[in-house]
Structure 1
Amino acid sequence: MTAATGTGARRLLPSGEHAVLVECGSAEEVLGLHAALVATRPDGVVDLVPAARTVLVSVDTSRIALETASAWVARTEPAAAGSAAAEPVELPARYDGDDLAAAADALGISPDELVEAHLAATWRVAFTGFAPGFGYLVSDDWPYDVPRLASPRTRVPAGSIGLAGSYSGVYPRESPGGWQLIGRTDAVLWDAAADPPARLVPGAAVRFVRGEVGS
């Protein structure tokens, strides 16, 4: 089944007996649709999981029929970009990453220009994944496409700020990774005892600010 949208066709695909997968035309549409679904979620819709081009809608079929939920999704118009009123999450940043100079050189700009552009952008969490608390950040203010490392690192320290493609992100814990590292933050992005445990949730606005960051 398909549902027409303003930018093409939004496809709704069955995903088992308790979910429907919504294919969108762009990351921007995913953000808008996810925001609109969260704002109008009916009883019985138990989870809304955005990804790069999809939103997974999971339901409790004892409370709402999957067909009813699918019809709700099909008629929901994506929210306008920037419609969320919540204040941005501010992350203190120190720009001393191992790949800062190389990433800037690949883009044909200076390291200072890259840092200023990263600071000036208002980022949004498009979706989460890879590791608990890792948010894929996008911004209409960010014009760059940054190549990944040819050979991923086996160890990236927690708090590292990275760039890959059109995304920015912060590694919430030590892990392997292939993103270009431009800086670091002391912000805690994942706390299993907190509610919610992830500091960066889909749809949240994020700003990086210059701040004191420990060595």
Structure 2
Amino acid sequence: MEYTLFPLCEYAVTVRFASYIDEAVNDIVHETAARLQGERKEGIKEIVPAFSSLTVYYDPVVAGNYADVCAWLRENIGSTGQAARHSTRTIVIPVCYGGEFGPDLADVARFHGMTEDEVVALHSSGRYRVYMIGFSPGFAYLGGLSPRLATPRRPVPRTTVPAGSVGIAGGQTGVYPLATPGGWQLIGRTPLRLFDPHREKPSLLSAGDIVEFRRITAEEFARWREEHDDGRH
């Protein structure tokens, strides 16, 4: 696949493979990121994959200037062709839908002319790909939402969305790992902690993972919290 290089700032280069979101393109992004990690040279600080591009952050004092880093990229990207399928993890996320945990579920159901149970059944039957992590620490942008559930964002964002909230915005679904402002339509909440700075790997999800949602009851939600809560919120 063809690609283009351009400077994101004075210490970062972006490699763009396409201008659209596509699973095959995202495979190439992650395969290339893994290849660059394997050939990482001194001064390369971070390699960040996104939907259809990746960005390489570097120390210009150590790695060289923009032209030097571009030369290293061209040497190691080469002709990408079709990306090899890399191993993926499947993460099952329990979700309590509706009620206090999903205050917008009824609105989403009305918008689509469905019952709340139909929305939940459709949402929890999908398999979702983590295309990238962004917005806030550990926030995963998931692809694979059924077009039948695509719903506009709220006209007025909430000033605080509780951590663990599961939402829909346009053609995407996602989980808020931290309590932040947000305008997504909230349909449920998970008791899982998706981001914990005390863990060796703070973010539960990584780009390339597959996510499945499993419906649980409010009682199961409370029991999960009691069994797994270590006092950090």
Matches within 5 A, 1:148-167: 148-167=153-172
For the residues of structure 2 that align with 1:30 and 1:63, how far apart are their CA atoms?
28
Structure 1 spans left out of the alignment, 5+ residues: none
- Give 1:22 shift: 2.3
1:176 paired with 2:181, answer: yes
- Give 1:116 shift: 1.3
- Does the 8 Å CA contact 1:34/1:78 hold for their aligned counterparts? no
Structure 2 spans left out of the alignment, 5+ residues: 226-233
Equivalent residue number for residue 10 of structure 1: 3
Task: Compute the RMSD of aligned alpha carbons.
Answer: 2.4
**Of the candidates 12, 19, 30, which is equivalent to residue 35 of structure 1?**
30
TM-score (norm 2): 0.77
When residues 184 and 25 of structure 1 are mapped into structure 2, their CA distance, relative to the original with a 3 A threshold, is: same
Report % sequence identity. 36
For the residues of structure 2 that align with 1:154 and 1:18, how far apart are their CA atoms?
34
Q: Which has the higher helix share?
A: 2
- Give 1:51 shift: 3.4
Aligned length: 205
Matches within 5 A, 1:124-143: 124-139=129-144, 142-143=146-147
Equivalent residue number for residue 73 of structure 1: 77
Once the two structures are superposed, residues 76-119 of structure 1 have per-residue CA deviations (whole angstroms, 9 ceiling, x without a partner) of: 24636xx3433311111111111112112223333222211211
- Give 1:178 shift: 0.3
- Does the 8 Å CA contact 1:90/1:206 hold for their aligned counterparts? yes
Match of 1:91, as an amino acid? I
> Which secondary structure state, in structure 1, belongs to the residue aligned with residue 221 of structure 2?
coil
Once the two structures are superposed, residues 178-201 of structure 1 have per-residue CA deviations (whole angstroms, 9 ceiling, x without a partner) of: 000000100011111212211111
User: Following superposition, which runs of at least 4 residues in structure 1 exceed 6 angstroms of deviation?
Assistant: none
- Does the 8 Å CA contact 2:47/2:56 hold for their aligned counterparts? yes
TM-score (norm 1): 0.83
Out of 20-29 and 171-180, give the one that drifted further.
Answer: 20-29
